Every structure is written in structure tokens, then in C-alpha cells.
Amino acid sequence: MKFRRSGRLVDMTNYMLHHPHALVPLTVFAEKYKSAKSSISEDLTIIKHTFEQHGIGTLLTVPGAAGGVKFIPKVSISEAKEFVEELCEQMAKPERLLPGGYLYLTDILGNPGTVNHIGRLFASVFAERKIDVVMTVATKGIPLAYAVASQLDVPVVIVRKDSKVTEGSTVSINYVSGSSKRIQTMLLAKRSLREGSNVLIIDDFMKAGGTINGMISLLEEFRANVAGIGVLVESEGVEERLVDEYISLLKLTDVDVRERQIHVKEGTYFNFYK
Amino acid sequence: MKFRRSGRLVDMTNYMLHHPHALVPLTVFAEKYKSAKSSISEDLTIIKHTFEQHGIGTLLTVPGAAGGVKFIPKVSISEAKEFVEELCEQMAKPERLLPGGYLYLTDILGNPGTVNHIGRLFASVFAERKIDVVMTVATKGIPLAYAVASQLDVPVVIVRKDSKVTEGSTVSINYVSGSSKRIQTMLLAKRSLREGSNVLIIDDFMKAGGTINGMISLLEEFRANVAGIGVLVESEGVEERLVDEYISLLKLTDVDVRERQIHVKEGTYFNFYK
């Protein structure tokens, strides 16, 4: 009997972690383990308590016949602080400096553990907003967008800068890149986004915000709504920022090419953390 | 006391699931929970048993002072069969047909749940190979590559078809696209791959295999080794396939544009499943 509970706890934990933000009826577990609903409820209490204690997230119970339990991933503030601090350190390494003052981020964005961690941070802070889909623009934002969407249980749509036949018909817009002031095009497959969708925009880097503004214009074409904007790194010191409301993990305050120094600090994330 | 074990089981399950293929010393848990190593060993036995029973994977114990425990994700054959069957059905829907006989896969690849599931299947079948990094080519293969790499605990490198200043210096090769016979270029950031790395190539679609052959040539430039090739969909009926050894989940046997029929069956995956 003791072992049955242990086995259930392990398997239910696995199940909940793989189904964030999804409403799971208790009967799913009761049938799977041939257990009474009351035992399942007790198991869920233990899981909820442990998740909260260890900064994994929480379980919400929705009562009634159509009810069940929902796992909401939630990173504790201490874990988030520690992680952002580590990222700042990594980001500030002088060997990241590329000609022109650009930064090499490929190693950070190429680490799935780091990317998934970033995903959990964004999913935490956007947990209470109504989000139907995560949108990003190819290429660098893609892994981040999937990491966030995985934790929110919503699909991803990818805006492209070139047309591909495998997308079917597309809607395109022209936009002005904020920093270079050049006119560019972005497009999205027509059937990839439903009218009225609530869209969370995720990207790796924001300078003046031109690309993100482009995505907002594209959403207008689809009559979709901006549910939020999350960027990994924002660059400070741009005269006129085009986008006002966004959540950034890191803020690049200064890149000194001659002295080979990169100054990075916490972004706006903790202003939104509840 | 009973609750302490329960809490540990839940938290350890979460930890192991988030650290696949990583060697975790038992002291990590013993210190975290202030428990005896013997209790931790018992917990791990319960987790291992449950993981195996429910087709989540297994735990390997590495004895000795430098030892610990490793979670190896492993999808059961019945789950893999069921999932591949479902994918076949989804793939065969006539509304996927685009002009020119191309298929719209954006919805399937846009679903993080599906993508993560595919990642677990590939991570299972490649679990015993020595893999240091997962490589893919922008754009469609990216989410799949991250899903696989997450489960193997290795980084991702992304080959591009256009140069970006944020990559730093790159190595580029020309290759012949197998189906269109056109000469194309692909490139990879110089510092993204170490000499001698064992590389798993992941992509969404393979027709004649030209793109994958291009990646293999690129690996030669880096003196890196091909540890394996995994593709979501291969297309059958190409006269001369350029790549011999690969694992595919699905095989597209025929696309009949006039009759609006798509024929899909299981790929080579189950020939490699152990």
C-alpha cells in the first residue's frame, strides 16, 4: 500500500510536469491507478505542498464535475534572482564582443537547459494572463518561444523574413527596423493564427523595438491581441524606444568596444514578478 | 516521516526529469533533504521502478566515489507506436496539401507538446550513442533539435543559410540540394563546434538528403563526427538517396495532388528501437 502511493506520487509528478496549465480531471488518475478519488486528492495535496516548498510551481484545484487539477509552473523569486545574476555574469564576458559591438550569444541560446530555465521564468511571470499562442520571429527567438510555450501549453507561431512555399499563403507587412531605419518585410502563414487570439510575443534581443513593433502590426492584420511581450535582453540607451510595455530578463547598459567591457544588469522582470 | 519520503519522491522526480543524462551524486539529495544516503537509495529504487513501469525511462546507478544516478529517458515501444500512428493520421489530412505537392506542417511543428514528444522518441533511440551536440539547419528543424537536445543534456548548434553578424566568424560550404540540384551555401559559427565533437543531426524533412549531406560536409570541415541522423519525415520514391544511415519517424510514400491524398507510414524508427 505504501509502495502504491509512492509509485503514484512519482508518476503523477511526471504527468503534471509534462502537462502545465492543462486541466486534468481527477478521474484520469483514479482510473489509471484504480484508486479512490480521495486517495488521489491526498496525493495531489502532497505534490502541491512539495511543488510550493521547492519553488517548482503550484497546483490549482478546480472544483465541480468539469473540474480537476492544474499545474502552474512558478519559479521562486530567489531562484529567479540567482539565475538572472548568473546570466548577467555569463553575458558580461569580454570574449562575447564581436566587431561592431555585437555580442555572441549563440552559446547561451544553444544550451537547452538555460533556454528551458528562461522559459520557466517567463511562463511564471505571464502565468495569469490569457495567452492562446506564443509568437516569435526567426531565427534566434525560436528556442525561447518554444521553451515558454511548453510551460504555458500553447502553440508557437513563427514570423519569417522570407517566404517559404511550405507555409502556404501568407500575410506580410513592411516595417522599419528601429536601429537601422531600413524598411524590411515580415510575414506569417495565414492559417497559423486565428482571429482574436491572445498572443505573447517572445524574442531574444530588443534594441529600439522595431522588430517587435513589426510583429504588433502583423497581429493587427490578423485582428489578434498582444497579451504580453518578453525579451531576453534589452539594450539600454536607445534614444526613442518604440515599444513601451515589455518584460526583459537582462538589460545591456553599455558595450565599450575599446575597453572590451560589457555592462549588463537585471531587466524589468522583477517589476512584474508577483 | 512518511511525509518526508513523499516530499522527497516528488522533488527528486522533478529534479531527475529536469536533468536527463546527467550524473547526479547521491550527496546532492542527501544534503538537500538532510537524509541518510540509504534513504535516498531507497527513494531512487522507487523512482526507477515507477519510471520503468510507466514508460518514462530508467535510472542508472554508477557506483563508487565519483558515482551517482542518471536518468535515461526511454519511451516504451507501445507509446512510441501509438504516437507515430497518431502522427501518421494527422499528417495524412488532405487540407495539408499545398500547391506543388508540398505539405503544411507548421501546425504539427508549432505544438510544443508534440515536438517534445518527438524529442523524447529520438532521445530514446539515440540514448546509447556518444553524443556531444545536436545540429540542425534553420528554421523548421530548430524546435525538434532543442527537444532532442533537452532530453540528451547536450547543446544545439544551428547551421544557417545566410550569414549574420551576431555569429562572429563562420565556416561555410557549398552543397547541392538533392531534389532541386541547385548549388546552395550553408554556414556555421566557427566557435560553436569543437574539433572531434560527436554530432547528432536532426531535421524535420528529408527528400533526397542534400541538406543533410551538406551538414555532413560541414562537420568534416570542423573535424567532427556524425553520431547519428534523425528526421521527422522522409519522403520515399526519390531515385537516388544521398544519405544511407538515418532514423525517420514517418515516411511519406505518395502525395497525390489530383486525388488530394497523402500516404504516410511508419519510418525506419522501429528498426532501430531496442
- A63 with A188, same domain: the answer is no
Identity of the residue in B9, B103, B112 whose CB atom sits nearest the CB atom of A150: B112
Q: Do B155 and A112 touch (CB under 8 A)?
A: yes
Cell numbers that stand for B42 in this block:
531507497
Q: Which residue of A has its CA nearest to B189?
A: A106
- B16 with B100, same domain: the answer is no
Identity of the residue in A17, A54, A104 whose CB atom sits nearest the CB atom of B17: A17
- B256 with B138, same domain: the answer is yes
- B250 with B169, same domain: the answer is yes
Identify from B1, B2, B3, B14 which residue to disrupt to test chain A contact, counting A C-beta atoms within 10 A and taking the largest count. B14
Q: Do B166 and A102 touch (CB under 8 A)?
A: yes
Q: Which residue of B has its CA nearest to A144?
A: B143
- A122 with A210, same domain: the answer is yes
- B36 with B129, same domain: the answer is no
Range of the domain at B215: 77-271
Identity of the residue in A100, A112, A155 whose CB atom sits nearest the CB atom of B149: A112
> Where does a domain end: B73, B95, B124?
B73
- A238 with A150, same domain: the answer is yes
Identity of the residue in B14, B110, B140 whose CB atom sits nearest the CB atom of A157: B110
- A67 with A138, same domain: the answer is no
* pLDDT per residue of chain B (274 residues) written in tens, 0 to 9: 455 899 999 999 999 999 999 999 999 999 999 999 999 999 999 999 999 999 999 999 999 888 999 999 999 999 999 999 999 999 999 999 888 777 888 899 999 999 999 999 999 999 999 999 999 999 999 999 999 999 999 999 999 987 776 777 899 999 987 667 789 899 999 989 999 999 999 999 998 888 999 999 999 999 999 999 999 999 876 666 777 789 999 999 988 888 889 999 999 999 999 8
Of B66, B62, B196, B78, nearest in space to B133 by CA? B196
> Residue A2 — very low, low, confident or very high, per pLDDT cuts 50/70/90?
low
Asked whether A172 and A197 are in contact (CB, 8 A), the reply is: no
- A31 with A130, same domain: the answer is no
Identify from B2, B166, B252 which residue to disrupt to test chain A contact, counting A C-beta atoms within 10 A and taking the largest count. B166
User: How many CB pairs (< 8 A) connect A and B?
Assistant: 165
> Where does a domain end: A42, A57, A73?
A73
- A64 with A81, same domain: the answer is no
Q: Do B11 and A47 touch (CB under 8 A)?
A: no
- B91 with B152, same domain: the answer is yes
> Where does a domain end: A20, A39, A73?
A73
- What are A84-120's pLDDT values in tens digits? 999 999 999 999 988 877 788 889 999 999 999 999 9
Q: Which chain A positions have a beta carbon within 8 Å of B154's beta carbon?
A: 112
- B27 with B123, same domain: the answer is no
Report the CATH number at residue B254.
Answer: 3.40.50.2020
Report the CATH number at residue A34.
Answer: 1.10.10.10
Identify from A6, A47, A161 which residue to disrupt to test chain B contact, counting B C-beta atoms within 10 A and taking the largest count. A6
Cell numbers that stand for B94 in this block:
488532405
Q: What is the tally of structural domains in chain A?
A: 2
Q: Do B165 and A50 touch (CB under 8 A)?
A: no
